[in-house]
Amino acid sequence: MTTKYIFRYALAASLVVSAASCKKSLDLQPISDATVNNSYNTASQAEAALAGAYNTFVSSDYYIWDNIYTSDVRSDNHYAGGDNPDFFQYDNLTLTATNSKVYGDWSNLYNGILKANTVIQRVPLITDPSLAADRKAQIVGEAKFLRAYHYFQLVKNWGGVPLVIAPVTTTDPADINVPRASVADVYNQIIADLTDAAGVLPDTYGDASVNKARATKGAANALLAKVYAQKPDRDYNKVLTYADAVISSPAGYALVSYSDLFDNNHYNNSESILEAQFNGTTIGNWSPSLLLPPSITSTTWRKFITPSKDLANAFDSEGDVVRKNQTMLFEAAPWVDEYWSATVNGVIPFPYKQRNLVNGNSTSRQYMLRLADIILLKAEALNALGRTGEAATEVNKIRTRAGLGITPAATQSAMALAIEKERRLEFAQEGQRWDDLVRYGRAETVMNALNETNLITGQKVNYNMTAQKELLPIPQTELNRNPALTQNPGY
């Protein structure tokens, strides 16, 4: 983090308070009308500080739509669309350290970490008798979950990053010029935070909408399953343990109809483990206005994040009509698209999982954690452990839900590819594809094998994918301001 941003966000986090907050509600409108000296003395102030920490999920570009660029657009799933050169760098794998979105997302994530750090440090010191000891422990556990979630995004995208695990209240370079920790150390911190959180968080809070808005034991176990699968020295026995803990949770997670996941009428459903709570009034999602076609937005400027031909072909090759229709909507576009139509008014696909548009203040959501992800991670773990038949059983739960036949994969290697493809079709537009390709060691193979032609120039696109491009560049602004940082290779 830079001096300016560490100080600004640490100070902002220390001022997050609210008038009153029920422990079962999640008011994501923090009020900063108190002073530093009286900000952390009462139960309501503790709850408000936690609400401020959750606010990152609904206020940062990274969680609203940039994560789709870092994963789906950077991979074979989507093109950038739109007209922003910084987004084209994700699409073409030509990212630079001066990319404004790379810097913005880095800052967004550290903002969330520093708000969580303040809660973790200050709440245990509160002596208000109305703040019960178990609730105090839960608040700290929720904040540790949030810190782990943000660090997981950082380590996946940038590798080893500075570990900041306490609020920073000084501009002394000796305190704020933090060097990069190793990838292993970052993952160890994530695991420690999630293990602590799982030990104190409840399975449910007693209210369906709150259960999906706040960190629960199920959310902590789900993220642990993902972490143990993604870390370089992955541990598939641990993946299996934590996936099973989620699947058998007293919270009663269960798959729902795939169309119900995205029709805007069934959020906080039984499949959802965690989702950002856009309500369309005080907390609205603005991204659908940038994604949806003219027939819905009533605007004719070029929209962003266009599903790729390769993704459409992947759906078609499986006969996967159900998930394709929930993922993309085809419509004539009053602009030229370099991959789908070289002429105006050609038919192109638009991203469709966030489809609710209400004056740019939408309730559309991305699922942050959902059960299908955990079921397919369980299948991945079983297959990696040589239990391919059992893996097929788990994969077929997801295929059956999509109206497809059972997987024909019989060998371990064939099953691994089948699971990879299943995850692609299941989670397109949900910010997972790049992580999967890197985890399977297939990012170079898949990206360099793509057959994409720019219809305007007539030239085949060469992505020149290398192992170094698996990570994003450290933002140049951060390197300039923090001499202790080093750049990732290749940038």
CA-based nearest residue to 159, from 190, 189, 180: 180
* Total residue length of the chain: 491
Alpha-carbon distance of 339 to 86, in angstroms, equals 18
One domain for residues 7 and 128: yes
Domain-located, residue 333: yes
Alpha-carbon distance of 466 to 447, in angstroms, equals 9
Q: What is the pLDDT of residue 37?
A: 52
Domain-located, residue 169: yes
Last residue of a domain, one of 312, 334, 364: 364
Domain-located, residue 174: yes
One domain for residues 298 and 188: no
Last residue of a domain, one of 331, 364, 397: 364
Q: What is the pLDDT of residue 38?
A: 59
CA-based nearest residue to 444, from 420, 414, 468, 416: 468
Alpha-carbon distance of 279 to 285, in angstroms, equals 8
Burial of 359 (0-12, 13-18, 19+ CB in 10 A): exposed
pLDDT in tens, the chain (491 residues): 332 333 233 323 333 322 223 333 333 334 334 444 557 899 999 999 999 999 999 999 999 999 999 999 999 999 999 999 999 999 999 999 999 999 999 999 999 999 999 999 999 999 999 999 999 999 999 999 999 999 999 999 999 999 999 887 766 776 789 999 999 999 999 999 999 999 999 999 988 889 999 999 999 999 999 999 999 999 999 999 999 999 999 999 999 999 999 999 999 999 999 999 998 888 999 999 999 999 999 999 999 999 999 999 999 999 999 999 999 999 999 999 999 999 999 999 999 999 998 877 899 999 999 999 999 999 999 999 999 999 999 999 999 999 999 988 899 999 999 999 999 999 999 999 999 999 999 999 999 999 999 999 999 999 999 999 999 999 999 999 999 999 999 99
Domain-located, residue 450: no
Handedness of CA 142, 143, 147, 148 (dihedral sign): negative
pTM attached to this predicted model: 0.92
One domain for residues 174 and 299: no
Q: What is the separation of C-alpha 293 from the centre of its chain, rounded to a whole number of angstroms?
A: 24
Domain region containing 292 = 288-364
Residue 11 burial (CB count, 10 A): 15
**Token pair listed for 297:** 């937005």
Alpha-carbon distance of 297 to 289, in angstroms, equals 6
Counted domains in the chain: 2
One domain for residues 175 and 64: yes
Q: What is the pLDDT of residue 159?
A: 98
Phi and psi torsions of 270, nearest 5°: -70, -25
One domain for residues 50 and 177: yes
Q: What is the pLDDT of residue 39?
A: 74
Domain-located, residue 292: yes
One domain for residues 197 and 293: no
Last residue of a domain, one of 347, 364, 381: 364
Alpha-carbon distance of 376 to 332, in angstroms, equals 35
Domain-located, residue 218: no
Domain-located, residue 275: no
CA-based nearest residue to 440, from 203, 214, 229: 229
Angle ∠(46,47,53) on CA atoms, nearest 5: 95
The answer to whether the CB of 278 falls within 8 A of the CB of 28 is no
Instruction: Sort residue 298 into left (φ over 0), alpha (ψ -120 to 50) or beta.
Output: left
The secondary structure of the chain in percent helix, strand, coil, rounded to multiples of 5, reads: 50, 5, 40
Domain-located, residue 146: yes
CATH number of the domain that residue 69 is part of: 1.25.40.890
DSSP 328: E
